[in-house]
Amino acid sequence: MAYKSTHTYLNLPVKDLNRTKEFFSSIGFEFNPQFSDDKSACMVINDNTFVMLLTESYFQTFINKPVADVASAATGIIALSADSREHVDELADKALSAGGKQSKEPADHGFMYVRSFEDLNGHLWEIAYMDMSAFSQA
């Protein structure tokens, strides 16, 4: 039987937890206070997906190698779906207004529209809308 997780937790190191929480709050994300404290914040993506924002010193207690410098090297891209092209633009524009940086030009592939940004810590994010009706024609 294939493995299926019921919940997903992505853990990211952050330099300034309060500024990072303010950044993501201004985009529209909420935090679960039950799993947040002065070292970490549980950002809710949806009912089953969460991003744990951990101070770099706290993040270091979970690993046996150095924390990557995401300001100079990419370690991955966090990609989130949006309900529409307009929602993609809304979220990306809010991220840029809150101090994020555009990491790539918007990409319009017809069936998929993507905007990319770096958060305050240098982590790469993509917001994408995919027109699933383009795939129902087979």
Write down the domain spans for the chain.
8-62, 74-131
3-state helix, strand, coil in the chain (%, to 5): 25, 35, 35
Nearest partner of 128 among 111, 119, 42, 10, judged by Cα: 111
Backbone torsions φ then ψ of 106, nearest 5 degrees:
-55, 145
Q: What is the mean pLDDT of the chain?
A: 94
Q: Please give the pLDDT value at position 31.
A: 98
Question: Burial, 44: exposed, middle or buried (Cβ in 10 Å; 0-12, 13-18, 19+)?
Answer: middle
Q: Which CATH class is domain 74-131?
A: alpha beta
What mean pLDDT comes out for the span 36-49? 97
Cβ pair 80, 127 in contact under 8 A: yes
Token pair for 36? 């947040």
Nearest partner of 54 among 87, 15, 26, judged by Cα: 15
Name the CA dihedral angle for 79, 82, 84, 86, rounded to a multiple of 10 degrees: -80
pLDDT, tens only, 64-121: 999 999 989 998 999 999 999 999 999 999 999 999 999 999 999 999 999 999 999 9
* Secondary structure element (H or E) that encloses residue 91, with its range: helix 85-97
Q: Please give the pLDDT value at position 126.
A: 97
Q: Please give the pLDDT value at position 44.
A: 98
User: What is the share, in percent, of the chain residues with pLDDT greater than 90?
Assistant: 86
Q: Please give the pLDDT value at position 134.
A: 77
What mean pLDDT comes out for the span 5-29? 96
**Do 8-62 and 74-131 show the same overall fold?**
yes
Quote the pTM value: 0.89
User: 8-62: which CATH topology?
Assistant: 2,3-Dihydroxybiphenyl 1,2-Dioxygenase; domain 1 (3.10.180)
